[in-house]
Chain A
Amino acid sequence: MAVNPVYHQTNDRLQEELTIIKEAKENPERFGPLYTKYHEQIFRYIYQRIDDEDLAFDVTSQVFVKALKNLHKYEYRGVPFSSWLYRIAKSELYQAFRDRKARKTVNVESMHLFEMIEEFEEDDSAGNKKKLFQCLSLLKDNDLQLIELRYFEKRSYREIGDILEITENNAKVRAFRALERLKKLFMK
């Protein structure tokens, strides 16, 4: 399965980011380039899980506000700055579900369903697609999150680990188990 190449960056790019972050710690106005670079990624991550577009933009904006406010706490750990932003986004999403009564949403493309049915070695029929679609809404939060990150958004295990604050191997194991549970539901 092809993974999203955006997350993987060269060492030079990482150092470039780090320089901007250091400058932004002194002067928040310098944060602009990072905002431009990651705004779309964060928005898509949030909009993938919220049905309301305006609310998704609001939450995205709030993610960057929080990031900028807490930038002095950021420590470079050899991973892209986006992993820190995703963690803030995850937290802001939960807050939006809780405070703004936003509804949890799973956006699925037909292509994703096709790929998963292939993974299950089943027929790509309309009935199976419908059944799988229904099974997704029956999954637990954690499992659904892993399925989304890995199979719909095509993120690497390393990136999933960074977002969920777990190791790469753990992300791999958990994603596999989530897929097994979805398969079990599907086969019933």
Chain B
Amino acid sequence: MEKIKTILDRKPVSSDYIKSKQDFGKVIKGVKALSPPVYKSAWFYGAVGVAAVAITVAAVTLTGSDAPHDKAQMDTSQIASNLPPEDTNAAPLVEKRESEQDRSETKQEVKKKIEVKSKPSEVLKTAENEPDVERLTVMKKVEEIVPNLDSDMPHISGISSGPIDFKDFCNPLGIQVDNGVLIYRYTIQYRSCARDVTANIRGNRIPQTLCDEIRDCGNPIEISFMNIEGQDRKGNNILLKDFTVVTTL
């Protein structure tokens, strides 16, 4: 146990002496020294917190407003990169989008292509009202549907409309596309002597049974090729234009 020091009759300290030692200023200074610094006070943290939240919100807001633009640019680049190298008409279509005027031209071009095609019309209905990103997506679809009127036009022995010789029609090479697109499915429709025929065919060739039936009928037959689906060199699935030929014996 700590020993307590005991003092007997210590010399008393006078009241005057104690009063002379009073220093209220020192007490006030001591209080100020003990008070926490500004950066530890509650209002400081509050102000800093509010500022931080404001900056964060502003940053998020600005980033959010930039995002669609970036996304649109990204989509544009995707479209450009997805296009086949030979596709000379599609690339300018993307570049034209940079100005409002060009944008309207693009719309008209799309509309024209819509008119040519019947199926994608419902997709394109939204093209005028939706934001850029969606419009670009729609355009991308259109590009897939209507790649090119010339080089992407499917044909049989170089003929994509009008009369075709029976021998050319039954060409073992089947339906061809000049830009390297491989046809893997199509629908054929014709009226033969005996009946109306609609058949879904796998591959690009004309089945021998069809050739035989047309030959046996002996009359010119109008044959329509529809829903022609193919794959380009990059592996993208594309829908090619329908065409109609008339066989002659």
Task: Name A residues whose Cβ lies closer than 8 Å to a Cβ of B.
Answer: 28-29, 31-32, 35-36, 39-40, 43-44, 47, 51, 53, 57, 61-62, 64-65, 68-69, 103-110, 113, 133-134, 136-137, 139, 144
Point out the residues of chain A lying under 8 angstroms from B150, CB to CB: none
In B22-77, the 8 Å CB interface with A consists of 22-24, 26-28, 30-31, 34-35
CA distance A28 to B26 in the complex (A): 12
CB atoms of B6 and A68 under 8 A apart: no
Judged by a CB distance under 8 angstroms, whether B21 is at the interface is yes
Q: Give the total number of A-B pairs whose CB atoms are below 8 A apart.
A: 77
Q: Which of A31, A65, A110 has the most CB of B within 10 A?
A: A65
Please report the total number of B residues contacting A with Cβ < 8 Å: 24
CB atoms of B30 and A65 under 8 A apart: yes
CB atoms of A40 and B18 under 8 A apart: yes
CB atoms of B5 and A104 under 8 A apart: yes
CA distance A57 to B9 in the complex (A): 20
Pick the contact of B28: A28, A51, A109, A113 (CB < 8 A). Answer: A28
Q: Which residue of A lies closest to B15 (CB)?
A: A40
CA distance A149 to B22 in the complex (A): 24
Point out the residues of chain B lying under 8 angstroms from A107, CB to CB: 7, 10
Pick the contact of A35: B2, B10, B22 (CB < 8 A). Answer: B22
Point out the residues of chain A lying under 8 angstroms from B27, CB to CB: 31, 35, 61, 64-65, 68
A/B interface sample: 6 pairs, CB < 8 A: A28-B31, A40-B15, A40-B18, A43-B18, A47-B13, A107-B7
CB atoms of B18 and A65 under 8 A apart: no
Pick the contact of A137: B6, B13, B19, B34 (CB < 8 A). Answer: B6
CB atoms of A106 and B18 under 8 A apart: no
CA distance A69 to B15 in the complex (A): 26
CB atoms of B22 and A103 under 8 A apart: no
The answer to whether residues A57 and B6 also contact, given A29-B28, A47-B13, A64-B27 and a CB cut-off of 8 A, is no
Judged by a CB distance under 8 angstroms, whether B8 is at the interface is yes
Point out the residues of chain A lying under 8 angstroms from B18, CB to CB: 39-40, 43-44
Q: Add 15 more A-B contacts to A61-B30, A105-B6 (CB < 8 A).
A: A31-B24, A35-B27, A43-B21, A51-B5, A53-B13, A64-B27, A65-B27, A103-B5, A104-B5, A106-B6, A109-B8, A133-B6, A136-B4, A136-B6, A137-B5
CA distance A103 to B7 in the complex (A): 12
The smallest C-beta distance from A63 to any residue of chain B, in angstroms, reads: 9
Pick the contact of A108: B3, B6, B22, B35 (CB < 8 A). Answer: B6
